[in-house]
Structure 1
Amino acid sequence: MRHYPTILKWNNPVVPVPMVMFDRKEIGTVRKVGFDSPPWLQTGAIESSFDFSGRMLELISDISQNCPEFFNLDPNKILVTITRARNFRLHGLQARVTPMRFEGGNLQCKRGNRNYEVQQYYVDGREIYYLVTFCLPRFQDQTLENKLVTVFHELYHISPEFNGDLRRHQGRCAWHTHSKKSYDVQMLHMAREYVATTRKPYLHDFLRVDFAQLIHKHGGINGSVVPLPRLVPTARPAKVS
C-alpha cells in the first residue's frame, strides 16, 4: 500500500510548482487559418509563453475586489491549475474547483472505523485552500460570455466562509440549488456587472481569443499542474482547523 505525505510544499525557484506547456504543435490539427488575434488585446509579452495560471489568478483577484459576492475570497490561498482535455470537443468538463478541506473546514473525516486527513498544499509558504482547474483547450475555445460564466460559476462554489469547504445549498441539490440553469443565469448577471464596472478590463482580454489564437500569439500556453489531494489515514483525533 502506497503511503502519501500529509503535506506537499512547493517553493519557487528551488522546488517550483509543476508546469505543463501547450505549444504550436497543439493547434496544427485543429485548423490551418484564423490564428491572428486583435492587436489591441493586452495578453502580455508576445515573446514569452502565456502564463494561464498567473493571468487567471489576477482576474480572480480583480473579481474578488469588485464583486460583493466574492469579497470573501483570498486569492493568495487559491491555486489555479490546468488540465488537458481528452479531445477537442467543446462539450464536456470546462473547469472545476477542488476544496482542500472537508465540510465545515475540517481537515479530517471519519469513514468506517478509520480517520482520514486530507493532504495540505503549500506554495511559497502559503497554504492553499482551493484548486481552481481549467480544462484546455476546451475552456479557452468557448465564447467570451461562456468563459466568464464558467469562472464565476466555479468561484461561487467556494464557501462564503472561505474555510476550504464548498458552498452548500439547502435540499438535495447541494451544489447548484434546484436548477443549474437558473444558477448559471445568476452567474451571467454577475459576470456582466463585473465587465461593466472593472477598472482593469485588460485582465480578461485573454478570454476574448481562443486557444489557437493565444498559442499563435505567444508561442505557447503554460500553467500549473498538481495532483488532486488524497485522503491519508491518520491515527490523530479529528479536529477543526
Structure 2
Amino acid sequence: MSRRSNGFDFTAAMRLVCADIAQRLPEMVHVEMDRVAIGVCQTRNRAMHGVFATLTPLRFAGGSAERKYRGRTLRIQPLVDGAGQEYLYLLNFYLPRFMNLPLEEKLSTIVHELWHIGPDFDGDLRRHEGRCYAHGSSQRKYDELMDRMTRKWLASDPPPHLYEFLEGDFDALAAEHGGIRGQRWPAPKMIPS
C-alpha cells in the first residue's frame, strides 16, 4: 500500500486479504466479500486480552429476514453499501488490539471469523451441533482447524504485498502511513418490520 497523508485505509486492505482467502481456500468458496461489510472498532486500552474481531450475521437463523419476538415481528436494521446493496454480514476488527497480535495469529483470526459465515451465505452463521453452535464441542479443535486453514492459505502463495501491512504492530503501521483509518459501522439494531 502506498503512503497517504490521510492514513492507511485498514478496511480496504483487509477486504483484499479476506477476498483472497475466500478465493484460495475451497472451504471459503461460498463467501462473497462484496456482501460483507468490514469495519474497525477502537479498543479502550492496549491490553491483549479481549476481542480481536467479530462477525455479526445480519439475518436470523436460516437466513430469515424477520423474526417473531413477544408477538412483534422484528428485523435487523440493514447495512448498505454506496450502491444501495444490502450487506449480509458485518466483520469488525478491534484496533489496536488486533494489529498487536503476531502475524499468524492475525491471519488465523481472519480465517476464524470468515469461517463463521454460514455455508449458504444467507446472512446466518455456520451452526455446529450441540449447545456450542458457534465453535462446536471443542474450542481447541476449532482453533486447530483455523490454524490449518491459515497455513493452507499461506502455502497457496498469496502475494506478500497483500498482507505485508499485517506483519508489524499498530504503532508501526500508523507511523509508516501517518495514521490508520477505516470504515466504522453502527451496531445493527432490531427494528419493527
TM range (shorter): over 0.9
Q: TM-score, normalised by structure 2?
A: 0.96
Q: How many angstroms does 1:141 deviate by? A: 0.1
**CA–CA distance in 2 between the matches of 1:85 and 1:161?**
32
Deviations 1:143-184 (A, max 9, x none): 111111110110000000000000000111100001112101
Establish whether residue 136 from structure 1 lines up as the match of residue 103 from structure 2: no
| Contact 1:55–1:203 (8 Å) recurs in 2 | yes
> Which position in structure 1 is the counterpart of 2:57?
99
> Which position in structure 1 is the counterpart of 2:3?
46
**CA–CA distance in 2 between the matches of 1:198 and 1:230?**
40
Residue type of the partner of 2:12? G
Q: How many angstroms does 1:201 deviate by? A: 2.4
Q: TM-score, normalised by structure 1?
A: 0.77
**CA–CA distance in 2 between the matches of 1:198 and 1:53?**
22
**CA–CA distance in 2 between the matches of 1:113 and 1:46?**
54
Partner of residue 211 from structure 1, selected from 150, 170, 173: 170
Establish whether residue 200 from structure 1 lines up as the match of residue 162 from structure 2: no
**CA–CA distance in 1 between the matches of 2:107 and 2:64?**
31
Establish whether residue 61 from structure 1 lines up as the match of residue 49 from structure 2: no
> Which position in structure 2 is the counterpart of 1:121?
79
Residue type of the partner of 2:25? C
Give the % identical residues: 40
> Which position in structure 2 is the counterpart of 1:188?
147
Residue type of the partner of 1:46? R
Structure ranking higher in strand proportion: 1
In structure 2, runs of 5+ residues without a counterpart are none
**CA–CA distance in 1 between the matches of 2:60 and 2:4?**
42
Q: How many angstroms does 1:198 deviate by? A: 3.1
**CA–CA distance in 1 between the matches of 2:153 and 2:74?**
40
**CA–CA distance in 2 between the matches of 1:47 and 1:100?**
33
Deviations 1:10-36 (A, max 9, x none): xxxxxxxxxxxxxxxxxxxxxxxxxxx
> Which position in structure 2 is the counterpart of 1:170?
129
